[in-house]
Structure 1
Amino acid sequence: MQKIKFTLFNLRDLLVAFGPVTLMVVIVCGVGYWLVDPAPSRIIDMSTGQANGAYERFAKRYAQELAKNQIELRQQASLGSEENLARISDPDSDIEIGFVRSGSTDETKAQERGLISLGSLFYEPIWVFYRSPKEVTTISQFKGKTVNVGPDGTGVARLFEQILDVNGMTAEDVSIQKLADTPGTVALLDGKVDVLIFSSASDSPLVQMLLQTPGIRLFDFVQAEAYTRRFPFLSHVVLPRGIVDIGRDIPARDYHLIAPTATLVAHESLHPAMIGLLLQAARRIHSGADWFSKQGEFPSDKYTEIPVAREAEKFYKNGPPMLQRYLTFWVANFFERMWVVLVALGALFLPLSKIIPPLYVWRIRSRIYRWYGQLRLVEQSIENVDPAELQAVAARQLRHLDEIEEKVNRITIPLSYAEELYGLRSHINFVRARVEAMMKAGAVQAAT
């Protein structure tokens, strides 16, 4: 049992010796851990799009994916691409990410506004539906028509002006309406507008409905390749014959379209760890084939004029971070950020390795060595004492030695330091013998 007690005492002394240093290490590492690389937030604010639009539908799917990692995606409806871009750029806005159509800005302005691209997600063709007994083959044939281009925040009006310009026209050559997509579709069906222009993914209910509506025609951009040369942010895509309904052969032929790409844009302040997580969600949502893209074509670091974030480039090159392939996001993120702690520990390890062992040894031996001061006081108290008082002084010191010996006998130390303990006890006996010898000598001298 005594041996066990010695062992426990050893552990306690070790903990006491390590305690202050351990506390210092924890404080230093904790400060470095949180200040150098703060933890990502569990909330992301996203600017989406119009009700029932592609942006809104995809935002809901992102919210579902992020919720799997206990992250809330707060969605804020908008008119579209341009409004999303303005919100992300606004330093007073809480919006961190949003869907932005290619061509909405340029590289220089994007850098000035602190914008980064996480990659393009899907083709977003320009759909031009019109009412006419005959097929229209050029944009110039819409001269004098009523054209709905959607609200200003969608960005379609800006793109349509560019299309008019390359066709030698201006906005004054047509009657512009700015109804939202759904009211605009109703106006087209009611004959209140002649042309409806909007940009949307292929799975838009409005697109699929209009493609099957008698009397409504889809404009065929037969010069699509020329448009893509004039506007690098556009792509030439083909709506295949029969893609809507093979049995009814809708559409009855291939249609050539021009298409910007929808891009996931963020402010540069977005936490780097969130970029990888968002791109993993994007890969699950957008990697499938659709009317215009092949399996695995999106997400992509192409088709975007906004600089691609460095973390996104790593993702496209190497895939998700190694740890996130096997661990949950928060656990993987914790270990990925542990390098801060490891650097701090590495800087402290060498000096601490030289301090702690001597500190531990000193604590054990100090329990023994402090009694040598008491022994020295006993010896000094009987030196140069008046012979008449020697007997009384020596008797008091012998009682003091008995008290010291009793306390020393209660000392428990690790067995590896037992030699020092037994040495102290022998020295107590040595001092006692000396005091007793002086008492005897004093008694003999007094008797003579």
Structure 2
Amino acid sequence: MTRQIREALLLALLSIRDMLASVGPVLLLALGLLAAAYWWLDPQPPRTVTLATGPAGSAYADFGQRYAQALARDGIRVQLLTTDGPAANLQALRDGKANVAFVRGGSADMSDDAEHGVMSLGALFYEPLWLFYRPAALVSNNTKGNTTQKPATPADTRLTSLTQLRGLRVNLDQPGSGVPDLMSRLLEANGMMSNEVIVSSMAPQAAAQALQDGQLDALVLITAPESPVVQSLLQQPGIALAELPQADALARRFPFLQTVTLPRGMVHLARDLPPDDIHLLAATTALLTHEDTHPALRQLFAQAAQQIHGGSGWFNGARDFPNTRTSELPVSPEGDRAINGTPPFYQRYLPFWASNLLERMWLVIGGLIVLLLPLSRVVPPLYTYRVRQRVFRWYARLREVEARMEEGDADATELLNELDELDRVASQITVPLAHAEEVYALRSNIEKTRRRLLGRSDASTLTRPTLL
């Protein structure tokens, strides 16, 4: 029984070896083509990517941390590039210092960026124009130069027009934030010159403290409501948020702006802050990237945007963002697919590297299958040839014995010994059962040759003359 098992195992191993040797050339060709396609398509992304955020402590910086955590789950390290704001983010993207960046609409002229490979991964959230001011400073400014002292009315403490900023100390954020350029355009639309306002360019945290200390009369920010500065000033006594009744008119003049509403009680329900709905101007911030950024990284950022910005907020409902409706630049295919399409089913079951490899290589794999189908027909003949070659190579030795027998010079006993040895070797040849007939045919031919040789030996003995 042990011998039978050993012979069966040997036969199986030989069959596997023959099959691998037969399939080998086709497999080598397929692997070579796959390696060439992998090198050409470069499906796996770099493990490090740079995201331009904004000033430290801003809403951009907070979102950058959340993106870094999201991509870290797929083994991608996100380097956060701190800048002065959206305009600086866009410049970093143009200069190749960043692969992805938060950029607010209207923060810079992006008319030529589409031609230079800058594209959008989708609009992410609204960034309102927050105009905080001290009502006491507004009253003082209104009564300046008036000899008649009248008690202040509620209307005197409310800032309802940008023209009321004339003569006030107003902080317009840092130049890279894009706020100074936007406010210059808004003031010009209201018939004011920028020199009619006492402008400063302090960082948001320092400006907020200066406003509370009375060193500033107003400050302007354009940021998401998640900004710590905004959260603090909205609940600070003695600080008010301006509502601009002309917001709709300004939004018509500047297409990148639109009106949003801060609902009553949104800041603090128990304290009823704000006590009324407040209409604000807002720009839309998008996640921009460059066409040189690896497609897999663009896909990861677009998918992370779905998770981070897909919920409801102060100015939007659930699933309002991300969207492709308000993008100033063309949306990349990865962003459009993540926002408006349905992700492939295999992304739910495969790790990122595997699903990305399948997505980038499926066309090549399909082409290889089409190419290998006709080539696979070569495998069965190769397999049959290898098995038969194990038998047929002994026919050369058999023919040599027959040739020597025909010549008649060789000793018959020597030839019989060679045939016996050849028969012993043939009996030990291991082939699959489907090819066993080849072995039996070889042994049969050996036996025929032996009989012919014995027949000739007997005939020569009978005809040999008797010596006297």
Q: What TM-score, normalized by structure 2, do the two folds share?
A: 0.87
Pair 1:418 & 2:433 matched: no
In the alignment, which residue of structure 1 is the partner of 2:76?
A: 71
1:287-366, aligned counterparts within 5 Å? Answer: 287-366=310-389
1:200-219, aligned counterparts within 5 Å? Answer: 200-219=223-242
Aligned to 1:236, which of 256, 259, 272?
259
In the alignment, which residue of structure 2 is the partner of 1:41?
A: 46
In the alignment, which residue of structure 2 is the partner of 1:123?
A: 126
Amino acid at match of 2:89: N
Change in Cα spacing, 1:336 to 1:172, as seen in structure 2 (3 Å) is same
With 118-127 and 23-32 compared, the bigger mean Cα shift is at: 23-32
Pair 1:144 & 2:167 matched: yes
RMSD: 2.3
1:77-88, aligned counterparts within 5 Å? Answer: 77-88=82-93
Change in Cα spacing, 1:212 to 1:317, as seen in structure 2 (3 Å) is closer
Q: Distance in 2 between matches of 1:171 and 1:420?
A: 101
Q: Distance in 1 between matches of 2:447 and 2:337?
A: 76
Give the CA deviation at 1:34.
Answer: 4.3
In the alignment, which residue of structure 2 is the partner of 1:181?
A: 204
Q: Distance in 2 between matches of 1:321 and 1:354?
A: 33
Deviations 1:115-139 (A, max 9, x none): 1111111111111122322333322
Aligned residues: 441
Structure 2: stretches of 5+ with no match in the other structure: 140-155
Alignment check: 8 A CA contact 1:102 1:303 kept: no
Amino acid at match of 1:119: G
In the alignment, which residue of structure 1 is the partner of 2:449?
A: 431
Q: Per the alignment, in what secondary structure is the counterpart of residue 296 of structure 2?
A: helix
Pair 1:372 & 2:395 matched: yes
In the alignment, which residue of structure 1 is the partner of 2:143?
A: none
Q: Distance in 1 between matches of 2:365 and 2:163?
A: 67
In the alignment, which residue of structure 1 is the partner of 2:152?
A: none
Q: Distance in 2 between matches of 1:419 and 1:240?
A: 91
Change in Cα spacing, 1:248 to 1:354, as seen in structure 2 (3 Å) is closer
Change in Cα spacing, 1:436 to 1:313, as seen in structure 2 (3 Å) is same
Alignment check: 8 A CA contact 1:116 1:265 kept: yes
Deviations 1:37-70 (A, max 9, x none): 5212333221111111100111112222222333
Pair 1:104 & 2:117 matched: no
Q: Per the alignment, in what secondary structure is the counterpart of residue 188 of structure 1?
A: helix
In the alignment, which residue of structure 2 is the partner of 1:286?
A: 309
Q: Per the alignment, in what secondary structure is the counterpart of residue 125 of structure 1?
A: strand
Q: Distance in 2 between matches of 1:379 and 1:330?
A: 65
Change in Cα spacing, 1:365 to 1:247, as seen in structure 2 (3 Å) is closer
In the alignment, which residue of structure 2 is the partner of 1:54?
A: 59
Aligned to 1:264, which of 279, 282, 287?
287
Identity %: 42
In the alignment, which residue of structure 1 is the partner of 2:184?
A: 161
Q: Per the alignment, in what secondary structure is the counterpart of residue 430 of structure 1?
A: helix
Q: Per the alignment, in what secondary structure is the counterpart of residue 111 of structure 2?
A: helix
Alignment check: 8 A CA contact 2:260 2:282 kept: yes
Q: What TM-score, normalized by structure 1, do the two folds share?
A: 0.91
Alignment check: 8 A CA contact 1:36 1:340 kept: no
Give the CA deviation at 1:446.
Answer: 4.7
In the alignment, which residue of structure 2 is the partner of 1:113?
A: 116
Amino acid at match of 1:201: A
Q: Distance in 1 between matches of 2:310 and 2:406?
A: 96
